[in-house]
Every structure is written in structure tokens, then in C-alpha cells.
């Protein structure tokens, strides 16, 4: 009976977390479509005025929602255009908002950092994400390869 109750509570928590993330993602999408994308289009070939966009978002949404949506927008905006800015935004988003137990996602993001970042602090953050994955799934060679590559980069090899 106790095990059944604990299992039920765990499933409830997982379901609530998934619904909460889905709700946050939906608000992010609205903010990006209604505020950020028009501002990016208006900026044309210039970089968007991120601070002004953030202020506009904060007039209606919370600080957290503004940060989430702006950071997502920066990840997409800087991809292929400015790798240092892309990496910084990706690390911030992953550290702040991603599920550290979504090991495939952590490995994917860590590989982006490994490939595109020149910042040792970002390598260390990515290494920590993948270390959790390696510790929990030691037989996964992809996680181990990413971890070893980040470790070598950090150690200067």
C-alpha cells in the first residue's frame, strides 16, 4: 500500500511538472510570436534591441517569462551568426530552465557548447550536465564521449 501511494505521488509530480513546462513553453511561444519576432523583423539587418524588447515583455509578463522567452529567442537568433552569443544564451537557458535529467537534451546542449564555445566556464557547465548523465547511465557511450571531450578541452589537451 505504501509503495503504491509513493508511486502515485511520484507520477502526480511528474505529470504536474510536464504540464507546468508545457504551459511555460506555450507562453514563451506567444511572447516570441507577438513581441520578439516583430521586433527582430523591424531591426532588419541590425541586432534586435534586446533590452527594449525585455522591457516590453515585462510590462505584461513576469521577469522569469521575459528571461525564458528572450533567451530562447537569442539562441535561435544567434545560431550560425554569432557562436559566442549563441553559446552564452544556450548555457544560461540550460542551466536555468532545462530538466537536468533529460539526458539526451543535456548531451545535445553539451555538444553545442563543445563545438561552438571558446569559454572555459561554459565548458565546465556543459561537463557538469553530461557528468550527471554518465553517472546515471554509465553504459551510454555518447554521453561518455561528450564528457571525455569536454574534460580534455578543460584540461587543455
3-state secondary structure 79-145: CCCCHHHHHHHHHHHHHHHCCCCCHHHHHHHHHHHHHHCCCHHHHHHHHHHHHHHHHHCCCCHHHHH
Rounded (10°) angle between helices 103-116 and 83-97: 160
In this predicted model, which residue has the larger pLDDT, 20 or 60?
60
Q: Is residue 24 scored above 90 in pLDDT? A: no
Phi, psi of 99 (to 5 degrees): -80, 110
- Tens digit of each residue's pLDDT (9 = 90 or more) over 29-52: 877 777 778 777 887 778 898 999
Rg (C-alpha) for the chain, rounded Å, is: 18
Share of the chain above pLDDT 90, in %: 61
CA–CA dist 101, 139 (Å, integer): 16
Taking the alpha carbons of 64, 67, 70, 71 in that order, is the dihedral positive or negative?
negative
User: Per-residue confidence at 96, pLDDT binned at 50, 70, 90?
Assistant: very high
Arithmetic mean of pLDDT over the chain: 86
Amino acid at each position: 500500500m505504501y509503495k503504491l501511494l509513493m508511486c502515485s505521488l511520484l507520477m502526480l509530480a511528474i505529470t504536474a511538472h510536464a504540464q507546468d513546462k508545457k504551459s511555460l513553453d506555450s507562453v514563451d511561444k506567444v511572447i516570441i510570436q507577438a513581441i520578439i519576432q516583430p521586433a527582430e523583423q523591424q531591426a532588419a539587418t541590425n541586432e534586435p534591441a534586446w533590452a527594449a524588447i525585455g522591457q516590453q515583455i515585462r510590462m505584461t509578463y513576469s521577469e522569469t517569462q521575459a528571461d525564458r522567452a528572450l533567451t530562447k529567442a537569442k539562441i535561435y537568433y544567434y545560431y550560425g551568426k554569432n557562436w559566442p552569443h549563441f553559446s552564452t544564451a544556450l548555457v544560461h537557458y540550460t542551466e536555468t530552465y532545462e530538466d537536468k535529467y533529460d539526458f539526451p537534451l543535456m548531451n545535445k546542449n553539451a555538444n553545442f557548447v563543445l563545438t561552438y564555445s571558446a569559454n572555459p566556464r561554459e565548458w565546465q557547465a556543459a561537463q557538469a550536465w553530461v557528468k550527471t548523465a554518465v553517472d546515471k547511465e554509465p553504459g551510454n557511450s555518447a554521453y561518455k564521449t561528450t564528457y571525455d571531450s569536454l574534460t580534455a578541452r578543460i584540461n587543455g589537451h
